Amino acid sequence: MRILRNLAALLLAAPVAAAAQATPPPQPILLRPARVFDAVAAQPHDGWVVLVQGGRIAAVGPAASVSAAGARVVELPGTTLIPGLIEGHSHLLLHPYNETSWDEQVLYEPLALRVARATAGARATLLAGFTTTRDLGTEGAGYADVGLRDAIAEGIIPGPRVIATTRAIVATGAYGPRGAPEWRLPQGAEEATGPDEIARVARDQIGHGADWVKVYADYRWADDDDARPTFTQEELRRLVEVSNAAGRPVVAHASTAEGMRRAALAGVATIEHGDQGTVEVFRLMRERNVGYCPTLAATEAVRQYRGWRKGREPEPPQVLEKRRSFRAALEAGVTLCMGGDVGVYAHGDNAREMELMVDYGMTPLQVLMAATAVNARLFHLEDRIGTIRPGLGADLVAVEGDPTRDVSAIRRVRFVMKDGTIYRGPGMAAEP
Ligand SMILES: [Zn+2]
């Protein structure tokens, strides 16, 4: 019997041993915070520990129940250990518009400059505790997000795990930058018209490395102040059909109720912005399992860049509209994604959206769930990240205090681990 068991162990161990020649098996690491919020239960667990081995969570539970034999112990007193945070809406290839306008970034910044800056943004994102980001369009920087994603995955630069969408898809004539009508300026996304062309563009972007496909279901036409729908229902349906067939979910930018309705009926996975969302369209989204990413922080940032002095002046109409649509979303019970459109404001300041979600009516616990377990599920990553459970990837962040009660604790990051590698805090091998 023992011989049989040893033989089985040998056979099972063989592929692992072969892989281990390239990467030596790391010593187990035992993390000892004050409490663990696993994003499974609604309450943090006092006195729990987490054991990490080989980049994965090996065990989690009360200290007495987890064997620390042979493990390196990392003490994290006064902290809550949470799953690595997931940013739902970023643009690593953009930087704040009060530094350089969007038009100037798209038209005049060299690609190498944009990529170099993006590496700094990726590092800031990771060190702020965001171990994954869904990056929703390079805005004129081609397929640079694919290279960034791969450079991070290969350990060449520190950064979050990136879900890439490459160039994004807009209706012909419905995006920017806009010049005099005589000129055809390079656009911040790829244009398409008609079901066949939108299918071709989606396939082309997938072929160039897109993990998701991003589409603009509405936008401002010409000099209009207000957005209107862009793609037809038929175009959006075809886009979702070809993307999903390739295993790629679709994410739609939409701020009008009609754009949101078409996107939801077409079968997109999430809708971004939703400024004019009604209870009815949010109910439709809930029925169709479409997540809603409100991007509150981008709306507020843009208004501040245009002169609004927050806290000293009344809220402008765009912010009041956002508060109204956010309340409608909560009333309808749509699944809330945590995604702020970071890049419009500084990378590493991702917590801003979480603070605003609390300010606009969610509890800190709901927001923390949105940024971990809920985003993981919306992004089809729940079997890999988003909760603290044995077998999942070791994306773990320790913050001072208890973020389930006080969302500002998210800003007091003391420790960041991604895939079992420590990037910040005690136990780190070297400064990243
Ligand atoms: Zn965006």
pLDDT tens-digit readout, 386-404: 999 999 999 999 999 999 9
Contact 155, 147 (CB under 8 A): no
Q: Is it true that the peptide bond before 177 is cis, omega within 30 degrees of 0?
A: yes
The distance of Cα 292 from the centroid of its chain, to the nearest Å, equals: 13
172 CA distance to ligand 1 middle (Å)? 19
182 CA distance to ligand 1 middle (Å)? 28
342 CA distance to ligand 1 middle (Å)? 8
Query: Tokens 């922080």 correspond to what residue?
Result: 297
214 CA distance to ligand 1 middle (Å)? 10
101 CA distance to ligand 1 middle (Å)? 14
What is the mean pLDDT of the segment spanning 284-311? 98
191 CA distance to ligand 1 middle (Å)? 17
Other beta carbons within 10 Å of 5? 9
Q: Side chain identity at 222, as an amino acid letter?
A: A
374 CA distance to ligand 1 middle (Å)? 19
Contact 350, 87 (CB under 8 A): yes
357 CA distance to ligand 1 middle (Å)? 17
94 CA distance to ligand 1 middle (Å)? 10
138 CA distance to ligand 1 middle (Å)? 9
Rounded to the nearest 10°, the torsion over CA 136, 140, 141, 143 is 60
Query: Tokens 């009041």 correspond to what residue?
Result: 320
Q: pLDDT tens-digit profile of 363-378?
A: 999 999 999 999 999 9
Q: pLDDT tens-digit profile of 29-57?
A: 999 999 999 999 999 999 999 999 999 99
Q: Side chain identity at 355, as an amino acid letter?
A: E
What is the mean pLDDT of the segment spanning 113-123? 98
70 CA distance to ligand 1 middle (Å)? 46
Q: Annotate 413-432 with b (16+ C-beta within 10 A) or e (fewer).
A: bbbbbbbbbbbbbebeeeee
The whole-angstrom separation of Cα 230 and Cα 254 is 10
Cα separation values, 327 from 115, 358, 361, Å = 37, 12, 7
- Please determine, for residue 146, whether its predicted confidence score (pLDDT) is greater than 60: yes
The whole-angstrom separation of Cα 160 and Cα 260 is 29
Contact 397, 131 (CB under 8 A): yes
Other beta carbons within 10 Å of 41? 10
Beta strands 270-273; 291-293: pairing state: parallel
Q: What is the pLDDT of residue 428?
A: 84
Q: What is the pLDDT of residue 19?
A: 33
28 CA distance to ligand 1 middle (Å)? 39
- Please determine, for residue 432, whether its predicted confidence score (pLDDT) is greater than 80: no
134 CA distance to ligand 1 middle (Å)? 10
Q: What is the pLDDT of residue 314?
A: 98
- Please determine, for residue 10, whether its predicted confidence score (pLDDT) is greater than 80: no
255 CA distance to ligand 1 middle (Å)? 12
Average pLDDT, rounded, for the chain: 94
| Between 380 and 430, residue with greater pLDDT | 380
425 CA distance to ligand 1 middle (Å)? 31
Q: Annotate 79-97 with b (16+ C-beta within 10 A) or e (fewer).
A: bbbbbbbbbbbbbbbbbbb
Three-state SS at 17: helix
216 CA distance to ligand 1 middle (Å)? 10
What is the percent of the chain with per-residue pLDDT over 70, rounded to a whole number? Answer: 94
Range with the poorest average pLDDT among 1-10, 188-197, 271-280, 373-382: 1-10
- Please determine, for residue 310, whether its predicted confidence score (pLDDT) is greater than 50: yes
Q: Annotate 165-202 with b (16+ C-beta within 10 A) or e (fewer).
A: bbbbbbbeebbbbeeeeeeeeebbbbbbbebeebbebb
6 CA distance to ligand 1 middle (Å)? 54
Q: What is the pLDDT of residue 416?
A: 98
Cα separation values, 98 from 106, 301, 302, 343, 357, Å = 14, 9, 9, 11, 23
35 CA distance to ligand 1 middle (Å)? 35
82 CA distance to ligand 1 middle (Å)? 26
- Please determine, for residue 15, whether its predicted confidence score (pLDDT) is greater than 60: no
Class of residue 367 by CB neighbours under 10 A (exposed 0-12, middle 13-18, buried 19+): buried
Question: Quick one: tokens of 85?
Answer: 């945070």
What is the mean pLDDT of the segment spanning 322-336? 98
253 CA distance to ligand 1 middle (Å)? 8
Q: What is the pLDDT of residue 429?
A: 73
154 CA distance to ligand 1 middle (Å)? 26
What is the mean pLDDT of the segment spanning 279-303? 98
Cα separation values, 289 from 130, 214, 270, 271, 415, Å = 25, 17, 9, 11, 34
Q: What is the DSSP string of 307-339?
A: T--BTTBPPPHHHHHHHHHHHHHHHHTPPBP--
389 CA distance to ligand 1 middle (Å)? 31
- Please determine, for residue 1, whether its predicted confidence score (pLDDT) is greater than 90: no
Q: What is the pLDDT of residue 430?
A: 61
341 CA distance to ligand 1 middle (Å)? 5
Q: What is the pLDDT of residue 22?
A: 32
The whole-angstrom separation of Cα 319 and Cα 327 is 12
The whole-angstrom separation of Cα 266 and Cα 244 is 11
Q: What is the pLDDT of residue 427?
A: 84
Q: What is the pLDDT of residue 431?
A: 54
Q: Considering Cα of 301, then 304, then 308, then 313, what sign does the dihedral take?
A: positive
CB-hemisphere CA count at 13 Å for 413? Answer: 26
354 CA distance to ligand 1 middle (Å)? 16
Q: pLDDT tens-digit profile of 216-230?
A: 999 999 989 899 999
What is the mean pLDDT of the segment spanning 236-243? 98
Name, in order, each residue with C-beta under 8 angstroms of 54's C-beta and a sequence gap of 6 or more: 25, 26, 420
Q: Which residues of 8-147 form beta strands (DSSP E)?
A: 29-36, 45-46, 48-53, 56-62, 72-83, 85-90, 130-135
364 CA distance to ligand 1 middle (Å)? 24
146 CA distance to ligand 1 middle (Å)? 17
